[in-house]
Structure 1
Amino acid sequence: MQQLEEDQKTPPRSRVRCPSPRHLIPALVLVAGLAAYFGFGLHHYVTLDALREHHDLLTEWVHGYGLVAGLCFATLYAAAVALSIPGASLMTIAAGLMFGPYLATVFVVFGATIGATILFLAARYAFCDFLRARAGGAMDRMAHGFNENPMSYMLILRLVPLFPFWVVNLVPAFLGVTLTTFVISTFFGIIPGTFVYALLGDGAGAVLHAGKDLNLGIIFEPRFLAPLIGLGILAVIPVAYKKLKRRGKSDHG
């Protein structure tokens, strides 16, 4: 009886529930893919120099295979996002160079949404609960927004780059965001930023097609002004959002 009372007074320990081996398969696939990416030196091809060097080859590939080329690119983009491989912005620029700004936006948005969803599901079903603690302050700062309005907050996180893209793919999985909310907000939220980078790629393709080189001088050409202004706006939005949020808190305080 005394032992039972002592057990009741003892605060419960936080349990770390690891997934079954079957649920670990997606995580192992992601880790293996990331190891292969760096092990085979594929990261050397996601550079501006590689884009410049293989511009003609990429253009011929798109002209030769059309929609198939776009679907292949979307698949590669999905894999890159699922593996959280750095260089997504450059891949979006490459898409603009190959497909033009409109088709590039379509292929990138579909690919990025699929890849983000794969990582979201892997985080929810394949990783142990202790990763919640590893997420640190980012999860704590996001929790309040998700509790108030998951869809609205997810759209803000996609439109306003307050956190790295891969973090926004993982954290919602630990905070109970539904798959439908995640997919819809990701799809529509990344369209503006994707289109801006695709415009940059389209301009870069026009420069290379004209036989010129990509250098700092091209930023003064008219075709680059709109996307650069767009990038400037995207860069300012997080700062403005944080200031408005602080002002709102002070007003309520």
Structure 2
Amino acid sequence: MDTTEPAPRRSPARHIPLLVIAAVALIGAFTLRDHLTFETLRENREALLAFRDANYLGMALLFVATYVAIVAFSLPGAAVASMTGGFLFGLAAGTGLNVLAATVGASAIFLAARWGLGETLAAKMEASEGRIKQLKTALNDNEIPVLFLMRLVPAVPFFVANLLPALVGVSYRNFLLTTALGIVPGALVYTWIGVGLGDVFDRGGRPDLSLIWEPHILGPILGLCALAALPLVIKALRGRKEI
């Protein structure tokens, strides 16, 4: 007689957070792309600065909440939001608020994806055989360096680095750690550009986003990428010697 208990059925409600995020992201891509821009910031900068001077804490909370929503729902305007942090709060406080908001927003989309599709997909990968199982095992054995690389490499879109780890079952603790630390270099660059936005607006110009590709900026970021990849290289070399 088979005494095995049937696997508990998962409620379809677990997909609701991810479906809401997908719906808002789709709507926002069409309705907000012309609003979360430098021109909007330029037109409203006096009002924003006045509100900040009158209620610094309130402005900081409003900024963080707005940035969290932009990241969590993958809305357009993340770069503008990062530079707004520097424009309103300066380099140190702006970087801190940018990192906090981006980390919270990334966690929201990670957990929504994990509760929705991630657990099921990760379980199927674990139960599979062959190359897929090997890839998942290799990722689980090297979560921190791989996640750091995803955060540090400028070519990896931010939403991809939020969703993909959730879908392959990485540890939330490792995701949170590598997100909070891995986005700091990029946050520093964008916040630094934002600090000078006032002068750019006074000249009637636009911020130069190509700064991130300058050698003195890109070089240190690539150096951090190399450090993050070093454990993977060492492990691969050791594996070859053992064969």
Matched residue, 1:97? 87
Q: Which moved more, 1:157-166 or 1:173-182?
A: 157-166
Q: Is the 8 A contact 1:150 1:177 kept in 2?
A: yes
Contact kept? 1:161, 1:238, Cα under 8 Å: no
Q: 1:89 to 1:229 in 2, by over 3 A?
A: farther
Paired letter, 2:173: T
When residues 62 and 230 of structure 1 are mapped into structure 2, their CA distance, relative to the original with a 3 A threshold, is farther
- Residue of structure 2 equivalent to 1:214: 205
**Residue 113 of structure 1 aligns to which amino acid in structure 2?**
T
8 Å Cα contact 2:72/2:106 also seen in 1: yes
Aligned counterpart for 2:58 among listed residues 40, 49, 68? 68
Alignment match, 1:120: 110
**2:12 corresponds to 1:26:** no
Where does structure 1 lack aligned partners over 5 or more consecutive residues?
A: 1-17, 134-138
Aligned residue-pair number: 224
2:157 paired residue number: 164
CA distance 1:130–1:162, change in 2 (3 Å)? same
Cα deviation, 1:10-58, whole Å, max 9, x if unaligned, reads xxxxxxxx9522212212321343355356x333221122222222122
Moved more, 41-50 or 70-79: 41-50
Tell me the residue number matched to 1:154. 147
Is 1:190–2:190 an aligned residue pair? no
Tell me the distance in 2 between the aligned counterparts of 1:90 and 1:144.
38
How far does the alpha carbon of each residue in 1:85-111 deviate from its partner, in whole angstroms, 9 at most, with x for none? 232112101111111111111111111
After superposition, the Cα gap between the structure-2 partners of 1:55 and 1:159, relative to the gap in structure 1 and judged at 3 Å, is same
Quick one: distance in 1 between partners of 2:113 and 2:212?
37
Structure 1 residues 72 and 57, CA gap change in structure 2 (3 angstroms): same
Change beyond 3 A, Cα 1:226–1:181? closer
Find the structure with the greater CA-based Rg: 1
Partners of 2:155 and 2:26 lie apart in 1 by: 28
Contact 2:16 2:116 in 1 (8 A): yes
2:196 aligned residue (203, 206, 211): 203
Q: Deviations over 1:144-199 (max 9, x none)?
A: 76233212221222122342111111111122211111111100110111011000
Q: Is the CA contact 1:97–1:205 (under 8 Å) kept in the aligned structure 2?
A: yes
Q: What is the match of residue 6 of structure 2? A: none
Could you state the TM-score of these two structures normalised by the residue count of structure 1? 0.71
> Which residue identity is paired with 2:65?
T
Partners of 1:122 and 1:230 in 2: CA distance: 37
- Deviation of 1:120 after TM superposition, in Å, equals 0.7
Corresponding residue number in structure 2 for 1:233: 219
* Paired AA for residue 146 in structure 2: Y
1:47 aligns with 2:37: yes
Checking the alignment, whether the CA contact within 8 Å between 1:117 and 1:183 is kept in structure 2 is yes
Q: Percent identity?
A: 31
Match of 2:46 among 56, 76, 84: 56
CA gap of 1:175–1:38, structure 2 versus 1, over 3 A, is closer
Over aligned residue pairs, what C-alpha RMSD do you find? 3.9
- Deviation >3 Å, runs of 4+: 128-133, 142-145, 224-241, 247-250
